[in-house]
């Protein structure tokens, strides 16, 4: 036990031989005689000290999300066609259009939801993964807060996807004016789903696991 | 420590710190002393009040899905859509993935969530454990983060503003139903349904 002085000595479940059920939060005693599998007596879910293979899964999902993120931003997400011109919009050009047309406030909201939030998720989850794998006790409280932030804001990125869906359904005036979704929106939707899965598979308890570096 | 029963303890989900449960007073929020995560809210989970709210949300949800959301006008022609109109449009325009995501997060998951919460509370108000309690509670836990009605409301707002440049835009009743639904969802978000696990514990002993 080489706990740093500044951290108050609060007992952790893993040290006491306790496991909190991920699903119903029941406090269970670890039963080590079982070969591998333990079940929550209340809800029947599998009990794990930490989410299984958290690093591997989170890295895999995060990388997959990033691979989707590149075409999501480069490819157009929506086509606006009218009598005399066809205009393909990317996420960024959609933000610009809102800004130019005088809806600065909405432009900021869409910019934050569609561009800043996904980038923030990549940066934050990447930082959390690397720092936790190195078992550093650097800025633990701030990292815990960052994780909570990412979990909270993650699904708002779906905003642009819903905008494209609504406009495609609404703007259907045959040759006069039409809006169609383009492949970029599919990549973007998948990016959001994959980053959500990535942040769910990361176990925030790993942030604090440097405290008991032995075993 | 060995004398403490597991029911008197709770474990922080985010940092694994073990806390002793204590009685909470009105409006109090239990925070983890180590990482600051919320451990539990005090709420007098009154099943009758909650059930009334769920029923309201259910009625509003049906209206939000049946009524058109917005109508666009161009040279005397009109075009309007509902949520399902948008989902079907995405399916027909080679964006089936998006159609599935939208149908799940805006229709099926919210619907399942409301129906199951309603079901559980209907029995909870009679101090009984609902049939299928465990699988329903586990399902609720997993679909929790995947309901996105409030994002859709903001999306409708952005779509309206974008369309306003080229078309005449009229807001339809559906958008108001969605606005009310968002308020109800925000109220619900403050209630931790996992309290029901503890209610069940008391009965089964």
Q: 3-state DSSP call for residue A109?
A: helix
Residue B16, chain A, CB below 8 Å: the answer is yes
- Parallel, antiparallel, or unpaired: how do β-strands B70-74 and B168-171 relate? antiparallel
pLDDT in tens, A38-90: 888 888 888 888 888 899 999 999 999 999 999 999 999 999 988 888 889 99
Do A25 and A65 fall within a single domain?
A: no
Do A24 and A94 fall within a single domain?
A: no
d(CA B83, CA B153): 11
d(CA A65, CA A196): 9
Residues of B in contact with A171 (CB under 8 A): 72, 79, 163, 167
Residue A214 maps to a domain: no
Do A84 and A167 fall within a single domain?
A: yes
Judged by CB atoms closer than 8 Å, whether chains meet at A172 and B94 is answered as no
Burial profile B53-85: b = 16 or more Cβ within 10 angstroms, e = fewer: bbeebbebbebbbebbbbbbebeeeebbbbbeb
Which of the four pLDDT bands, split at 50, 70 and 90, describes residue A10? confident
d(CA A83, CA B74): 13
Which of the four pLDDT bands, split at 50, 70 and 90, describes residue B126? confident
Which of the four pLDDT bands, split at 50, 70 and 90, describes residue B1? very low
- Parallel, antiparallel, or unpaired: how do β-strands A177-181 and B9-11 relate? unpaired
Rg (CA), chain B: 21
Which of the four pLDDT bands, split at 50, 70 and 90, describes residue A36? low
For chain A, percent of residues with pLDDT exceeding 90: 50
Q: Which of A114-128, B86-100, B124-138, B184-198 has the lowest mean pLDDT?
A: B184-198
Q: Count the domains in chain A.
A: 2
Residue A107 maps to a domain: yes
Q: Among B106, B146, B155, select the one facing A163 at the smallest CB separation.
A: B155
pLDDT at residue number A88: 92
pLDDT of residue A6 exceeding 70, the answer is no
Residue A17 maps to a domain: yes
Do A158 and A90 fall within a single domain?
A: yes
Q: Kindly report the nearest CA distance between residue A198 and chain B, in angstroms.
A: 13
Residue A213 maps to a domain: no
Do A78 and A160 fall within a single domain?
A: yes
Share the mean pLDDT of chain A. Answer: 87
d(CA A166, CA B90): 9
pLDDT at residue number B2: 45
Residue B52, chain A, CB below 8 Å: the answer is no
pLDDT at residue number B203: 54
Which of A197, A51, A24 has its CA nearest to residue B136? Answer: A24
Q: Among B36, B74, B90, select the one facing A173 at the smallest CB separation.
A: B74
Do A4 and A91 fall within a single domain?
A: no
Q: Which of A4, A9, A25 to mutate to test the interface with B (most CBs of B within 10 A)?
A: A25
Do A92 and A5 fall within a single domain?
A: no
Give domain limits for chain B.
1-42, 45-204
Residue A215 maps to a domain: no
Provide the token pair at A138.
């650097």
A177 contact partners, CB below 8 Å, separation of at least 6: A80, A81, A82, A83, A171, B74, B166, B167
pLDDT of residue A214 exceeding 50, the answer is no
Provide the token pair at A103.
């809806």
Do A21 and A42 fall within a single domain?
A: yes
pLDDT at residue number B5: 67
Do A45 and A58 fall within a single domain?
A: no
Residue A86 maps to a domain: yes
pLDDT in tens, A165-207: 999 999 988 778 889 999 999 999 999 999 999 999 999 999 8
pLDDT in tens, B49-98: 889 999 999 999 999 999 999 999 988 889 999 999 999 999 999 899 99
Do A1 and A32 fall within a single domain?
A: yes
Boundary-marking domain end, from A27, A49, A71:
A49
User: What mean pLDDT comes out for the span A99-124?
Assistant: 91
Choice between B51 and B21, residue whose per-residue pLDDT is larger: B51
Domain range enclosing A37: 1-49
Q: In chain B, which among 18-37 make CB contacts under 8 A with chain A?
A: 18, 33-37
Angle between helices B83-92 and A159-170 (to 10 degrees): 90
Q: Kindly report the nearest CA distance between residue B61 and chain A, in angstroms.
A: 18
pLDDT at residue number B205: 38
Which of B197, B23, B9 has its CA nearest to residue A17? Answer: B9
**DSSP H helical ranges for chain A:** 13-16, 54-74, 91-100, 104-111, 117-133, 140-153, 159-170, 183-201
User: What mean pLDDT comes out for the span A86-114?
Assistant: 90
d(CA A178, CA B79): 11
Q: Kindly report the CA angle at B7 between B27 and A15, in degrees rounded to 5?
A: 105
d(CA A160, CA A178): 18
Do A42 and A65 fall within a single domain?
A: no
Do A45 and A57 fall within a single domain?
A: no
Which of B70, B120, B174, B118 has its CA nearest to residue A166? Answer: B70
Judged by CB atoms closer than 8 Å, whether chains meet at A10 and B18 is answered as yes
pLDDT in tens, B35-60: 888 888 776 667 888 899 999 999 99
Q: Which of A71-75, B135-139, B184-188 has the lowest mean pLDDT?
A: B184-188
């Amino acid at each position: 036990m080489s706990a740093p002085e500044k951290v108050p000595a609060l007992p952790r479940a893993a040290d006491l031989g306790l496991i909190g059920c991920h699903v119903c939060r029941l406090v269970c005693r670890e039963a080590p005689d079982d070969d591998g599998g333990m079940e929550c007596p209340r809800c029947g879910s599998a009990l794990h000290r930490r989410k299984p293979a958290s690093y591997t899964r989170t890295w895999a999902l995060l990388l997959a999300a990033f691979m989707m993120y590149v075409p999501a931003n480069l490819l157009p997400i929506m086509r606006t066609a009218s009598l005399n011109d066809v205009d393909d919009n990317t996420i960024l050009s959609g933000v610009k259009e809102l800004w130019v047309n005088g809806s600065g406030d909405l432009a900021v909201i869409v910019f934050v939801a569609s561009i800043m939030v996904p980038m923030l998720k990549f940066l934050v989850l990447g930082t959390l993964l690397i720092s936790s794998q190195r078992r550093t006790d650097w800025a633990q409280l701030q990292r815990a807060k960052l994780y909570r932030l990412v979990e909270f804001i993650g699904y708002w990125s779906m905003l642009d996807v819903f905008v494209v869906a609504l406009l495609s359904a609404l703007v259907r005036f045959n040759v006069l004016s039409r809006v169609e979704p383009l492949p970029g929106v599919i990549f973007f939707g998948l990016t959001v789903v994959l980053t959500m899965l990535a942040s769910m598979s990361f176990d925030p308890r790993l942030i604090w696991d440097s405290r008991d570096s032995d075993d | 420590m060995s004398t403490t029963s597991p029911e008197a303890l709770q474990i922080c989900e985010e940092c694994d710190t073990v806390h002793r449960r204590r009685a909470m007073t009105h409006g109090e929020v239990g925070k983890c002393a180590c990482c600051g995560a919320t451990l539990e809210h005090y709420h007098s989970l009154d099943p009758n009040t909650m059930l009334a709210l769920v029923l309201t949300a259910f009625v509003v949800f049906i209206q939000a899905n049946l009524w058109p959301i917005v109508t666009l006008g161009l040279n005397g022609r009109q075009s309007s859509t509902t949520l399902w109109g948008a989902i079907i449009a995405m399916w027909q325009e080679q964006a089936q993935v998006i159609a599935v995501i939208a149908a799940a997060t805006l229709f099926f998951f919210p619907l399942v969530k409301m129906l199951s919460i309603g079901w559980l509370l209907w029995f909870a108000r009679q101090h009984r454990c609902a049939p299928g309690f465990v699988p329903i509670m586990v399902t609720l836990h997993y679909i929790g983060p995947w309901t996105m009605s409030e994002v859709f409301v903001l999306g409708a707002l952005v779509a309206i503003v974008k369309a306003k440049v080229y078309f005449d835009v009229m807001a339809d009743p559906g958008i108001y139903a969605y606005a009310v639904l968002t308020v109800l969802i925000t109220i619900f978000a403050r209630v931790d349904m996992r309290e029901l696990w503890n209610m069940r514990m008391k009965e089964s002993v």
